[in-house]
Amino acid sequence: MGSIGLGIMGGAFARHLLSEGFSVTGFDIDPKRRVALKKLGGKPAASASAVSSSCPILVTSLPSLKAVDAAFFGKGGIVESAKRGTVVIETSTLPLSKKNEIREGCLKKGVVVLDCPVSGTGAQAANRDIAIYASGDRKAYGKAEAALKGFSRSVYYCGEFGNGSKLKYVANLLVTIHNLSTAEAMVMGLKSGLDLNLLYKVIKDGAGNSRMFEVRGPLMIKGDYSQATMKIDVYRKDIDIIEQFAADLHCPVPLFEASKPFYAAAYAQGRALEDTAAVCAVLEQMAGITRKKRRK
């Protein structure tokens, strides 16, 4: 099993696969992540080429279009190095046009790419609490299914290539809105004098709950967003992808559009490397709230 991209998500995938008995050879441009893989019992490689040329199944988790182009189309990349018959589990959130470009480029070399975006945060990936929306060639999916189940809570085969990404865009639209609605709830609680731990406990057990309330609420209670499970900087890319997808469909997305300025404000405040839960800090500032002490 090969893994290219060992960041928050890819590193979690590799760890779970190793715990399930898979042999994992991995590469990341950050040497610290290669060292971390070795400590887990994996085999760090010196290049993407070394991974893609030796592993019949690859999983890619990449943070940007630049990283995607380097991993697939760069010198020693997957298109150049992978053997015929290799199956690539592509988990990154990318525009459909880029996913199709990857698929077509690899297909010319006899390499099959599956579109397999992930629904869940980095914290959920660490706990193996993510869902995979897999789409593409059914035979290739059969070869990759065991690996997909090895690092996820659930796997859905969604049909033709690209359906996985479309579902991911819908999921991320809801994440964008629900993350901000969680922040609204927390700030209203603060402003009214409620204890946030009480608020979290009670709301989590009622009709107002959401997965984003569950996973991002604790960060907002602490008021500490430094341990990012999804960085504001990276998520801006996802927001742009959803916006373009909706525009191409001529589909109204009013709540999503209303949410975007708060993520932009968090970025403008210097919170690019913080978790997206930092939109709560933006609302706190707007509400005139100054916390006396951050809770640890």
Residue intervals in the chain for CATH 3.40.50.720 = 2-161
- Whether 98 shows a pLDDT value over 70: the answer reads yes
At 229, phi and psi to the nearest 5?
-100, -15
Work out the percent of the chain whose per-residue pLDDT is above 70. Answer: 99
Q: Does this model's pTM top 0.85?
A: yes
> Closest by alpha carbon to 71, among 57, 86, 58, 83?
58
Give the integer Cα–Cα distance in Å for 244 and 61: 22
Specify whether the backbone of 126 is left (phi greater than 0), alpha (psi in -120 to 50) or beta.
alpha
Residue intervals in the chain for CATH 1.10.1040.10 = 165-286
Q: Which fold has domain 165-286?
A: N-(1-d-carboxylethyl)-l-norvaline Dehydrogenase; domain 2 (1.10.1040)
- Whether 296 shows a pLDDT value over 80: the answer reads no
CB count within 10 Å of CB 142 equals 11
* CATH (residue range 2-161): 3.40.50.720
Specify whether the backbone of 120 is left (phi greater than 0), alpha (psi in -120 to 50) or beta.
left
Convert the pLDDT of each residue in 155-192 to its tens digit: 999 999 999 999 999 999 999 999 999 999 999 999 99
Mean pLDDT, residues 92-101 taken together:
96
Q: Which pLDDT value is given to residue 162?
A: 98
Q: Which pLDDT value is given to residue 293?
A: 58
Convert the pLDDT of each residue in 220-240 to its tens digit: 999 999 999 899 999 999 999
Concatenating the DSSP letter of every residue in 247-293 gives HHHT---HHHHHHHHHHHHHHHTT-TTSBGGGHHHHHHHHTT---SS
Work out the percent of the chain whose per-residue pLDDT is above 90. Answer: 95
Q: Which pLDDT value is given to residue 266?
A: 98
Q: Which pLDDT value is given to residue 292?
A: 73
At 242, phi and psi to the nearest 5?
-65, -45
Mean pLDDT, residues 15-40 taken together:
97
- Whether 295 shows a pLDDT value over 50: the answer reads no
At 269, phi and psi to the nearest 5?
-80, 5
Contact yes or no for 225/253 (Cβ under 8 A): no
Pick the more confident residue, 193 or 293.
Answer: 193
Mean pLDDT, residues 52-78 taken together:
95
